[in-house]
């Protein structure tokens, strides 16, 4: 958990939630990410950007979740340090309002995972988005 997340969790007026996604890749594809040798570019950086951009569009992508302001979003896309072959996505969204921060976090995590999948599928058709779930919430 980052310092920014800890600061947000101690704010009693803040509602927040985290979503996680996991992308499982064959070892040769995962090694390309380790070496930053994917033919389509820096997969993790592009996945972070795509997730952030998608989070801003949550109200458009999921009708009924119109946002009066954008919640704070922390998005981490990284190679799993202890599990070779996996990319972990963790999206945490927080807001002082009654915004649907869960949908924002889920949208960011889902689009980040889809981006990893899309950028790696040329290397292997065996890439799998294994998990997309809400992992924790606080109020």
The string of pLDDT tens digits covering residues 66-121 is: 655 667 899 999 999 889 999 999 999 988 766 688 889 999 999 999 999 999 99
pLDDT at 29 over 60: yes
**Predicted confidence (pLDDT) at residue 2 exceeds the cutoff of 50:** no
Taking 60 as the threshold, does the pLDDT of residue 38 lie above it? yes
Please tell me the distance from the alpha carbon of residue 117 to that of residue 101, in angstroms, as a whole number.
24
Q: Is the pLDDT of residue 1 over 90?
A: no
* Catalytic-residue membership of 35: no
Considering the candidates 7, 11, 35, 118, report the single residue annotated as catalytic.
118
Please provide the average confidence, as pLDDT, over all residues in the chain.
Answer: 86
pTM of the model: 0.86
Q: What is the pLDDT of residue 135?
A: 85
Residue 64 has, within 13 A of its CA and on its CB side, a CA count of 2
How many angstroms separate the CA atoms of 130 and 115, rounded?
14
Contact residues for 35 (Cβ-Cβ < 8 A; gap 6+): none
How much is the pLDDT for 10? 59
63 or 112, higher pLDDT: 112
Tokens of 48: 């972070």
Contact between residue 119 and residue 77 where contact means Cβ atoms under 8 Å apart: no
């Amino acid at each position: 958990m980052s310092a920014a997340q800890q600061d947000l969790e101690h704010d009693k007026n803040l509602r927040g939630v985290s979503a996680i996604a996991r992308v499982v890749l064959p070892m040769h594809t995962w090694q390309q990410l380790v070496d930053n040798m994917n033919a389509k570019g820096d997969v993790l950086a592009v996945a972070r950007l795509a997730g952030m951009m998608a989070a801003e569009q949550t109200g458009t992508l999921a009708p009924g979740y119109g946002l009066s302001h954008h919640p704070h979003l922390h998005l981490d896309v990284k190679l799993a340090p202890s599990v070779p072959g996996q990319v972990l996505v963790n999206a945490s969204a927080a807001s002082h309002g009654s915004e649907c921060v869960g949908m924002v976090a889920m949208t960011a995590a889902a689009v980040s995972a889809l981006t990893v999948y899309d950028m790696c599928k040329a290397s292997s058709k065996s890439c799998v988005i294994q998990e997309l779930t809400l992992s924790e919430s606080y109020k």
